[in-house]
Each structure stands twice: as structure tokens, then as C-alpha cells.
Amino acid sequence: MPVVPTVVPTAVSPSVPPDAAMMDLALAAARSCRLVTSPNPWVGCVIHTAKGLCTGATSPPGENHAEINALAACGPLAKGAHLYTTLEPCSHTGRTGPCVEAIIAAGIARVSVAIEDPDPQVCGRGIAALRAAGIQVDVGTRADETTQLLAPYIKHRRTGLPWVVLKLAATLDGRIAAPDASSRWITGEAARSDAHCLRAESDAVLVGAGTIRADDPQLTVRHWQPAVGIAPRTKQPRRVVLGAVSASARVQPATQMSGPLPEVLASLGSEGVMQLLVEGGASTAAAFHRAGLVDHYVIYLAPALFGGSDAHPMFSGAGAASIDNLWRGEIVGTTYLGADLRIDLRPASV
């Protein structure tokens, strides 16, 4: 017997246009599988049938895509229904079959797609195949939100390079460690837990060898658990060190790399790293920043002051020589985490 879906009355706001409200539910489903799909994209799908809603999210690699899971939940109720998906359905055979063929076979009447898939194997072919089968297709509902959610996937598919997130924790006067190099803990427990969430969302975590020698970090996800309804990550992110470290360091086993940073990123990207979290130290952070390789900065600010110039700054080495050379970005989010403040920053749009 098919599963008969039901609508949760509080899930959709009456003030939101119906198509946008349905895509919001699909986005929520996409977020629920964020930790388990890499190197595939995290996608959500909602099918609006005559009797209610069916929802699907992407399964781990090699298993069903979001559309297939939603169709399985609907069974025969999918015939004549409206399918919403955050990413263009695939039209090729990889480790799984084409979602487009399953959508057509199910008798779906209309498909709403948030964004086209930048993967060269799809890239408009899925939408074209659906239209050729007589299915009404519209594109663009909640496109900005989906582009933001899938930013690491989009960059990786377009360039082959990872989406680089630089994480820094500092005092309000911009210092990350005391003159004696001690730095635990500048921020509180809530901020540290949030930083472990960043690790969980990343395919790899990178630090410089100097940080390993100074702090001997593990670089694992330990102090964070996903909320109810979020699929938990089943393995730790890959650990990458710039330079050589001892075999007894707690970061081991780790990948030790050297060479120009663009080559490091290209190598990691070719190995399926979609999101790279750079955690420092100051020399590594400065190198990525000055080379213009950071896509997203996450800065945790503690309500504390070292009160002098002898503490260690966020970036080592020389900075902008004049105000005309000042790097400027866009603050895209602020969040209070206990007593601390998280600032999300991106390079300014051109």
C-alpha cells in the first residue's frame, strides 16, 4: 500500500506564495541531508499531491536522490502532482538511474526547479527532457536561497576547486592568542560547538604545521550534535596539514601537503573536497586571505580585550599599506552564541 502523505498545518505560512512555500519545505529537506551527501549535492524535494505532501531528501552517495525518495513516498498519488526540487533533476546514469525518467514514468504534471544543475553532465538537460515529455517546468523559485545553500557544490562543479571557509576566533581587539601563545579558550562553549558544526559540514579541515606543533589539536567533530531531523555525519572530515608534523601528533592520520596554495586546492578538489575549512594559524590564514582564496569568513568575536599590541593578531605579516588598499567585504550574517558574536563575511561583490 502506498504511503498517504499528510500536511503539517504550521509548515506553510499563508503569507508566502504557494510555490515559494513549497520550495521552502524542499529547502528544509535539503538542509536535513547536508552532512551525508558529499560529494553529491544536498537536495530536497516536495511533491504536492491531491491528498497532501510527500517529501524526499538525498541519501548518501550511491543511494537514492531526493526526487526518487519523494516519489517512493507518494506511490500512485504522484500522477498529476506538482513536484518541487531545489536542484535540476539528473538525466544521466551514474551510481543511480536518471531522476528525470522516474519523474516522467510517475506521471508528474508540473515540476518547479529552484536552480539549474551546473554539473556538465546535467546543465539544462534534465529540464529539457522533462519539457520534451510534455511536463510543465518552471525555474527560479527560491533561486537565491538555493544558490546560497549549494554554494560549495556550485563552485566545485564549475571550477573543480573547493569552497574555502576561513574560521577565526578572536578578542574584540583582533587577537587570537596571548604573547605566550596560549589561546584556549578565547570563545565560550556555544561558539566552540558552532565551530564543530562547521567542521561537520566540511569535507576537509586544514591547518598549518605550526598550529599542530603549538596546540596539538585533533580537528575532529566532538562538541556538536545535529538537531532532531538532521541526518548525522557518519565519518570525520579529512584532516590536512600544510607542512610536516610528527607521526605522534593527535591530528594523525592526516594528509600532509606543501606547495603553492592554488595547487593544494586543485589537488583537494580533484579528490572530491567540496568544502574546505581553514582553521589557521595566523600565517596560514594570512596566506589564504592575501591570495584571495577565501570564499567565506566565519569570525567568532569574544567580549574580551588583550589591551595591547603584543598579543598575536588574526593575520601574521604585513597588511594593507594604506587605507586605499584596505580589503573590504560584505557582512552576510551575525549570530549571538552565548556571550560571543559570530560574523559571517564574504568578499565584496564586484
> What is the C-alpha to C-alpha distance for residues 297 and 165, in angstroms, rounded to an integer?
6
> What is the C-alpha to C-alpha distance for residues 301 and 121, in angstroms, rounded to an integer?
42
In angstroms, how far is CA 265 from the centroid of its own chain?
17
Closest CA to 22 of 34, 13, 35: 13
Number of H helices, E strands in the chain: 10, 15
In angstroms, how far is CA 15 from the centroid of its own chain?
29
* H or E segment and range at residue 192: helix 189-201
Please say whether the beta carbons of 251 and 245 come within 8 A: yes
Sign (positive or negative) of CA dihedral 14, 72, 274, 278:
positive
Check residue 328 and report its DSSP letter. -
Please say whether the beta carbons of 264 and 257 come within 8 A: yes
Q: Which amino acid is at 325?
A: N
Q: Which amino acid is at 207?
A: V
What φ, ψ does residue 186 adopt, rounded to 5°? -75, -45
Which residues belong to the active site?
A: 67
Sequence-ordered alpha helix ranges (H) in the chain: 18-32, 66-74, 99-106, 125-132, 143-149, 151-159, 189-201, 209-215, 261-270, 282-290
Could you list the beta-strand ranges (E) of the chain: 44-49, 52-57, 82-87, 110-115, 136-139, 163-171, 175-177, 204-208, 238-242, 255-257, 275-280, 296-302, 312-313, 329-337, 340-347
CA distances from 228 to 31, 198, 225, 322 (A): 12, 17, 9, 49
Please say whether the beta carbons of 232 and 226 come within 8 A: yes
